[in-house]
Structure formats: C-alpha cells, structure tokens
Amino acid sequence: MPDWLQKQLKNAFREKNLHQIRLLNQCWYYYYRRYEPEEVSKKRTK
C-alpha cells in the first residue's frame, strides 16, 4: 500500500470520516487490482 494512502486512511479513521474511509477503500481496491499483480509477477521472475 502506498505511503500516501496509508496516511490518508489513518487520518480518516482518526477523524471518523466515513465518507473518506469509503472513498479511500475504493481507491485501495482499484490500486490493488491494477498494480499488485504486476509486482507479484516481478517478484516471481527474479
């Protein structure tokens, strides 16, 4: 998980901002589906 997303999530949970938590959760799943498979395949080829 990128650092910027971790910081945003921590802040949203601290402020109990449900709208931002939901939005960031959607961002995370989008990011994960888009970029994580590439990272896993790079690790396997090494």
For residue range 4-44, list pLDDT tens digits in order.
Answer: 889 999 999 999 999 999 999 998 998 888 876 666 555 55
pLDDT for res 31 = 85
Report the pLDDT value the prediction gives residue 24, as an integer from 0 to 100.
94
pLDDT of residue 14: 97
How many structural domains are present in the chain? 1
Q: Which residue has the higher pLDDT, 22 or 2?
A: 22
Structural domain boundaries, residue 16: 3-45
Residue of higher predicted confidence among 17 and 2: 17
pTM for the model stands at 0.63
Give residue 11's Cα distance to chain centre.
14
SS (H, E, C) the chain: CCHHHHHHHHHHHHHCCHHHHHHHHHHHHHHHHHHHHHHHHHHHHC
